[in-house]
Amino acid sequence: MAAAGVAATVVGLTPTLVASPQLLAQTYYLRGTNIGDEPTDAEFTAFMGRVFAGTATVPPSGPPTKIDYNAGFWPVSHGGLDDLKWDASVSQGAALLADEQIGDGDVVFAFSQGAVAASKYKGEHANTGATFVLVENPNRANGGVLSRFAGLKIPILDVTFSGATPDNGDLTLDIARQYSGWSDFPTYPLNLLATANAVLGIVYLHGPTQRVEDLEAQLAAIPTDDPDYYQQHGNTTYYLIPTDRLPLLRPFGGIVPEPILVALNEPLRVLVETGYDRTDYSTPTRAQLLPKIDPVELTRDLADATAAGVAKGLASAGISPAPAATADQAPDSLAAPDLGERSEAQQAATTLTADDDAGAGAGGGGETAETPAARKAPGAKLRKALRDLAPKIGATAEQRAERKAERAAKRETERATASEQSEDRSAPESDDKSEPADREAG
């Protein structure tokens, strides 16, 4: 106030207060096509707030001003046959924005068709001093569908593919959601997997972006050192919001088990990404035929993605890979039976086979009580012995240790008994040997 008064005194004028441009600046917004389940104005302004916060953009104070254009897409928008066709609606939005005399410090926030209208205005008014925040922009230079097929026109719907948003002096933030077909359409549409994924992205990602509650966090988390998701060229900063689940898999949710969808997501993403060239988001890039693909690199990427997908799928199912077992920590269920148990099995098999042969031989041409069963089920006793042994093979380590100790004690007892019997046999032999000597002496 004092400075203004001094200046007024110097020039001999009545003192006046001239506010700075920032204090007079305003935020203007253009909504997207009036189609589907559109958010209310209050919900849309909350959406704007999340985008501003996530990109560290400070808008002017005061309530934003709505550019109330038709936002029609004849004949499928809410107004039906009464709505404007695409080109007429876009032109109306650009004209209404021009009526506001956008200037220094203003912010223009535009979504979807609104971004097309803002791009048209921007091309007609360079260096306004305003900041443009374009979300899901169909005119995005490398990715927007109106840039991919620039020069085409759909006569009945009156849709002109108007090319890329110009970078002509004003600061611009261009924010796209990965795989949303309006703003992130494939460079190589003949990759039908990528094209189908982008078309489904229009359904599952484009409009719902306005209601993503953690959009601020998603934008803030974008790695600024990864050119796939963040680039700066000239006066424009390009953001690509990562999409975790491919739109291609979204229709199968609730039908196909979740672990399978999780496992498929990674390798399918590798194939979908071969339909994109994300080298430079600022270069207007039309649709092209075929990419240059290194088959060796693609095979390696697919193998890595498949392994990662399987691991994530198992994790989502609550299954974690078991750590490799050491020799001292082998799982009980995989440990082989010890040699003593194998010896028992072999001995039982030999004995039972001999018994079967003996029984058959003793019967000669006749039949004993056992030979009919033996003939009907050859090796029945052998199988029974192996079945009896099976619980031992699958036993726990503690049970095997107990049986091993029992066998060791049994062998020790058998050795002691054999030693006693050997001593008993050797004593009479000594007596017999001494008898001739006694007789000779007599």
Which pair of structure tokens corresponds to residue 179? Answer: 């795989």
112: annotated active-site residue? yes
SS3 content of the chain, % helix, strand, coil (to 5): 50, 10, 40
Q: Distance (Å, rounded) from C-alpha 87 to C-alpha 93?
A: 10
8 A C-beta contact, residue 135 and residue 115? yes
**Residue 425 corresponds to which amino acid?**
R
Q: Which of 112, 119, 147, 282 is catalytic?
A: 112
Q: What is the DSSP string of 241-303?
A: E--SS-GGGGGGBTTB-HHHHHHHHHHHHHHHHTT---S-TTS-----S-----HHHHHHHHH
8 A C-beta contact, residue 186 and residue 194? yes
Q: Distance (Å, rounded) from C-alpha 222 to C-alpha 210?
A: 18
- E runs forming strands in 286-362: none
End-to-end CA distance of the chain: 156
H or E stretch including 207? Answer: none
The set of catalytic residues is 112
